[in-house]
Amino acid sequence: MLSRCIVSAALVLSFISNVQGELEWIGDSFLPKVVAGGTILSASNYSRVDNVQYGSGKGPTPEELIGNVTEVLDVAQLAVVRFPVSGGSSGLNSSLYLNISQHANRQLCAPDSDIVGAIMFHGTNTLEETAFGVDITFNCSKPFIATGAMRPDTYLSPDGRSNFYQAVAAAVSPASRNRGGLIAFNDKITSIYYSTKLNANTPDTFISLMQGNLGSFLAGQPYYFFDPAFPAGRPYFDVTNTTELPSVIILYGHQGFDASLMYAAVANGAKGLVILGPGAAQLSPNAQAAAKELFARGVPTIAVARPVSGTGVPGPYPGPIFYSSYLGPDQSRIVLQLAINAGYSLDEIRDVFENPLRTAVYGPQPNAEWYYAAANATS
């Protein structure tokens, strides 16, 4: 079994390759160009049914994966970009997505770029964080597609190869443009903006519960259910020159919540907080009091709904606690880090999180009348 995993890049190197700028292209030079970045697949040295203790086997490199899924070279020519990471995806931080985003913007968004899209292969544990960080810092209409594998490559029926093929097929499809970043995984396409890993073990794990699937793969080809649209209110941050981000801490609200943790986080250097509040992001009274005090000191707190689906809803008037508007805790943390880094004021940060939802809920009649009755009466 071990010999299956020890592979050479010879097969890949036998394909026509040509060097262009900093990228080396593999495959037929008449096909559309796709940049493939990311980490290697996992492999197990225990058995073909092991999907629990496979971290230490030697998996294929991206080049070897292309050699195992040569069909990708019938749809695209590929350039592999390696991003230095060590260990599994649980140990990663924002340095990775800042680096990937800077590369992707430089290579895909330049006016003269002939690259049609990018795919990112990533460990699934924190895929949603790296992907989200790239999504809201990537400034063009070309597809950025994240994918990965839930099963080790040594499994009886591994999922990584199929996911890889589908991600490449999505990256070359013009129908994938102008949608924001996408996740291609397990025969389905979802928006990075709204997706989270919902199952710790099964291949059907990247789900966007409220917003649903954008499309499906049939015979390897993407079929979109809707015409292109960007997620509502999706912000954009320029990270061309960013290498570090301010610390933002996530806390989990529960019965008996200890609000001193909020002050402790700030004393430890946190510049903002994200708190999961039970129900529609209802922080406990002590957490609300602490959030108000920290707000007065210039430290924002984002309240996120603790249920895996749904959202906290901002009040009709701006307040000292900001509601995340359907963004999950990991995603809210990344937006808050980027907004603080960009020098946004507290009001501007609140607007990024709340404005589209507040306008949608309280703007139209009759809600405008009901919720702003006092203001209307005096005007």
Ligand X SMILES: *[C@@H]1O[C@H](CO)[C@@H](O)[C@H](O)[C@H]1NC(C)=O
Residues in touch with ligand X (CB under 6 A): 7-8, 11, 45-46, 56, 64, 67-68, 81-84, 93-95, 99, 103, 139-141, 236, 238, 240-241, 244
Is the CB of 179 or the CB of 358 nearer to ligand X? Answer: 179
Question: How would you label 322-336 residue by residue, b for 16+ Cβ within 10 Å and e otherwise?
Answer: bbbbbbbbbbbbbbb
Task: Identify which of residues 246 and 316 has a Cβ nearer to ligand X in the complex.
Answer: 246
Q: How far is the CB of 109 from ligand X (least distance, A)?
A: 8
Shortest gap between Cβ of 299 and ligand X (angstroms)? 20
Cβ-contact 143, 117 below 8 angstroms: yes
User: Would you say 94 or 205 has its CB closer to ligand X?
Assistant: 94
Instruction: Compute how many other C-beta atoms are within 10 angstroms of the C-beta atom of residue 111.
Output: 5
Cβ distance to ligand X smaller for residue 216 or 242: 242
Here the tokens at position 259 are 């609000």
Per-residue CA distances from 376 to 85, 317, 362, 371 (Å)? 57, 14, 13, 10
Catalytic residue among 39, 137, 190, 196: 39
Query: Least separation, in Å, of the C-beta of 62 and ligand X?
Result: 11
CB neighbours (10 Å) of residue 11? 14
Min. distance of Cβ 344 from ligand X in angstroms? 14
**Residue 311 is among the residues annotated as catalytic for this protein:** no
User: Which residues are designated catalytic?
Assistant: 39
